Amino acid sequence: MRKYIFIFFLCFILSGCTIIALEVYSGVFDRVEIDELIDFTGYPREEFRFYSGKNKLQGFIYGKENDKGLVVISHGIHTNADNNYRMIKYLVDNDWRVFSYNNTGVSGSEGYSMLGLSQGLLDLNAALNYIENKNEFDNLPVMLLGFSWGGYSVCAVLNYEHRIKAVVSLSGFNSTQDVMVKQAVDAVGGIYHLLSPQTLALEKQLFGETAKLTAVDGINKIHIPVLIVISADDDVIPPNTISIYAHRGKIINPYAEYVYLEGEYAGGHRLRNYEKEKLYIEVNNFLEKSN
C-alpha cells in the first residue's frame, strides 16, 4: 500500500512541476510587441517577408545600393530589429548593406510567442536560406552580427551549411540549456532544479536535436574569422560561466578572436561604455579585415 501511495505522490509532484515549468517557459518566451518611434530619414529601408517554419517573419534591407558586403543582424531577446538601429546606421555609412529582421513572435513577425531560445537559431537559418535563394545577394560576402540571444545564434548557425565570410558575437552564450538554467535559477531560485527535467523535456519536444547545438560547435565546424566580445561585468551572460568566452578553451578555430572588456570599457551586458568609444569602429574594422 505504501508503494502505491508513494507512486501517487510522486506523480502528483511531477505533474505539478510540469504545470509550473509550462507557466515559467511560456512567460519567459511570451510574444514581444515593441513600437519605437525611430526617424529613418537618410536611411531608407525596404521591408520584406520570409518564412521560418509556418510563420512569416518581417525583415528589412538598409543601404540597398551598397556592395561591400551583406551584414545580417540577429537581435537579442525581448528586443527587436530596430533596437540595433544605431549600429545599422554606422554600417550603412561604411558602405555595408544590412539585413535585419524580427524573430518569431516579435513585433511585425508572426508567431504567438518566441517559442524558445533555439527558435532564434532556426529563424537565422531561415533568413540565410532566404538570402541564398535571392539573386540580388549572389555577389555579396555575407557577414553575421548578433547580440546576446543573437550572439549565440550567429555562431550556432555555423553548424549548418551556409556561405558565411565572418561572424561577430556580442555578449553571446554557448548553449540554450546553460542559459535557461541560469536565468531560471535567478528568477525562481533553487526550485528550478525540480523543474529542470520538465523544462528540458519541453525544449526537446519543441526543437529536437536543434536544442543540443552549441555556439562552440559551430565556431569549430567552419574555419572563418569569428570575433567574440564580452564584458567583465556582464551579469546576464557571465563571462566565466555560460558565455562563449568561458568556453574558449574548447575553441580550435584558428581564426577566432576575443575582446574582453574591463575597467573603463566594461559596460555590462549591453556593452554601454565600450559602445560609446570603439564598438562600432572595431566591428567595422573586423568585418573589413575579414572581407
Q: 100: closest CA among 28, 50, 157, 31?
A: 50
Is 31-175+214-290 in CATH node 3.40.640.10? no
| CA–CA distances in Å: residue 45 to residues 54, 88, 97, 98, 273 | 25, 11, 10, 9, 29
Q: Where are the domains of the chain?
A: 31-175+214-290
Which residues is 55 bridged to in the sheet?
A: 52
Rounded to the nearest angstrom, the gap between the alpha carbon of residue 136 and the centroid of all alpha carbons in its chain is: 25
pLDDT of residue 255: 97
pLDDT of residue 196: 57
pLDDT of residue 234: 95
Residue pLDDT, tens place only, 214-247: 999 999 999 999 999 999 999 999 999 999 999 9
Q: Quickly count: other Cβ atoms within 10 Å of residue 115's Cβ.
A: 23
Give, for 101, the enclosing helix (H) or strand (E): strand 97-101
Q: Say which residues have a Cβ less than 8 Å from residue 148's Cβ, sequence separation at least 6.
A: 76, 77, 170, 171, 172, 173, 236, 237, 269
Whether the predicted pLDDT of 3 surpasses 50: no
DSSP 65: T
| Contact criterion met (CB below 8 Å) for 228 and 195 | no
Residue pLDDT, tens place only, 175-213: 998 877 666 566 555 555 555 565 566 677 778 889 899
Q: Say which residues have a Cβ less than 8 Å from residue 270's Cβ, sequence separation at least 6.
A: 171
The pLDDT-based confidence of 150 (bands split at 50, 70, 90) is: very high
The pLDDT-based confidence of 20 (bands split at 50, 70, 90) is: very low
Burial class (CB in 10 A: 0-12, 13-18, 19+), 129: middle
Give, for 226, the enclosing helix (H) or strand (E): strand 226-231
Q: Which of 20-24, 164-168, 173-177, 203-207 is predicted with the least confidence, judged by mean pLDDT?
A: 20-24
DSSP 3-state assignment of 233?
coil
Secondary structure (H, E, C), 228-269: EEEECCCCCCCCCCCECHHHHHHCCCCCEEEEEECHHHCCCC
Which residues is 243 bridged to in the sheet?
A: 173
CA dihedral 156, 162, 168, 169 (to 10 degrees): -10
Provide the grid cell at 97: 548593406
What is the pTM assigned to this prediction? 0.88
Buried b (16+ CB within 10 A) or exposed e, 44-83: ebeeeebebeebebbbbbbbeebebbbbbbbbbbebbbbb
Q: 55: closest CA among 104, 102, 7, 9?
A: 104
| Contact criterion met (CB below 8 Å) for 115 and 107 | no
| Contact criterion met (CB below 8 Å) for 70 and 138 | no
The C-alpha atoms of residue 236 and residue 197 are separated, in whole angstroms, by 23
Phi and psi, residue 70, nearest 5°: -110, 120
CB half-sphere exposure, 257, CA atoms < 13 A: 15
